Amino acid sequence: MTTISSSRRTPQKFIAENGALAGLLLLALVIAIMQPTFLSAQNLVNVGVQAAVIAIMAFGMTFVVVAGGIDLSVGSIAALAAMVGALTAGPVGLVVGALCGLVNGALISYGKLPPFIATLAMLSVARGLTLVISEGQPHETDAVVTFLGSNLAPMVPLPLLLMLLFFGITGLILTRTNLGRRMYAIGGNEEAAKLSGIDVRKQKLWIYALSGLFAAAAGLVLAGRLGSAGPQAAAGYELDAIAAVVIGGASLSGGVGRATGTLVGALVLAVLRNGLNLLQVPPFWQQVVIGAVIALAALLDSLRRR
């Protein structure tokens, strides 16, 4: 051990590093035993579709959280993007979402606002704008957006494929691009990142813009599935997105987080919701259980890190 050497990956290490995955499998097993219909192909596809919107949103959130920030505005941005998409065209919605993210980034890096405050403001502004342009009414989506929520073939829903596509993109950005490496540096030690020549402010612009863009994509998928964009769509989704990222093992203090973790986190939430429905747990109790599971996941993770 005198000099630098490489180590191999072992199965034990894989499990230790993927506690959330083990949790997901365990959860699925318990539900399957109690209610075998859980394992039906149709139901599994449903779970995937249910996970898709939160997952796509949570992938964008992963960038922000890895870089040591938080984005509370993703639910509202999703709704605004979907509404703009319904009133004009899908791509315009994406642009609007990215722009909202850019504004977040500018407020945070150049206005020096804490991310919590800047994105809390955007949460309100974007939701308000959605209500203004929709005049409080739901609007039907056009064929392109509706296609996003449809099935390519029986049992092959497009949202599921889109989720996997965004998963791949997120993994690539985090591990293979300079922007991704910089996210970890900024979240781990912003001062060290700055002294290493990283333009921290510019990077933050891109990071929040990405989060806005991903939120917009999630909003369009949601609208496509429902066939319409509603003024109150995706309200509260930001909390699910954050929960998915944290269940996936990311640290809210920055510098830690992975695409696989977030995917698993989103699946955990979807499996849980689906399972509780199948087991006919009353909706009020469902919330209690979901909250408990989030706390449990975070606890296990912090125990594992010790």
Partner 1 sequence: MKALITARGITKQFGATRALDGVDLDINAGEVHVLLGENGAGKSTLVKVLAGIHSHDEGTIEGEASLAVIHQELALVPELSVAENLFLNRLPRKFGFVDRAEMRRRAPELLDRVGLNVDPNAKVKDLGIAQQQMIEIARALDKDAGVLILDEPTAVLTDTETDRLLQIMAQLRDNGVGLVFITHHLDEIQRIADRITVLRDGRSVGVLGPRATTQHMIELMVGRPIEEQYPRARQRRGKPLLRISNFTRRGVFRDINIEVHAGEVVGIAGLVGAGRTEVARAAFGVDDYDYGSVEVDGKPLPRNNVQAAIKAGLGLVPEDRKGQGLVLTATVGQNLELATLANRDEKRLHDIAGKLRIKGRVEQPVKELSGGNQQKVVIGKWLLADPKVLILDEPTRGVDVGAKVEIYELINRMTAQGRAVLLVSSDLPEVIGMSDRVVVMAHGRVAGELPKDATQDQVMALAVQEISA
User: Which positions touch partner 1 (CB under 8 A)?
Assistant: 1-7, 178, 181-182, 184-185, 187-189, 191-199, 251, 254-256
2 or 42: CB nearest partner 1: 2
CB of 194 to partner 1, least distance (A): 6
93 or 187: CB nearest partner 1: 187
198 or 278: CB nearest partner 1: 198
Which amino acid is present at 239?
L
Q: Hey, what long-range contacts does 184-192 have (CB within 8 A, 24 or more apart)?
A: 184/66, 184/67, 184/255, 184/256, 186/67, 186/68, 186/254, 187/65, 187/66, 187/67, 187/68, 187/69, 187/253, 187/254, 187/255, 187/256, 188/68, 188/254, 188/255, 189/255, 190/68
105 or 255: CB nearest partner 1: 255
CB of 213 to partner 1, least distance (A): 22
CB of 239 to partner 1, least distance (A): 25
CB of 181 to partner 1, least distance (A): 6
CB of 201 to partner 1, least distance (A): 11
**Tokens coding 171:** 């993994």
- List the beta bridge partners of residue 140: 228
CB of 59 to partner 1, least distance (A): 20
3 or 42: CB nearest partner 1: 3
The half-sphere exposure of 82 on its side-chain side, counting CA atoms within 13 A, is 37
What span, in angstroms and rounded, lies between the C-alpha atoms of 246 and 128? 28
What span, in angstroms and rounded, lies between the C-alpha atoms of 47 and 31? 13
| Cα 146 from chain centre | 21
44 or 194: CB nearest partner 1: 194
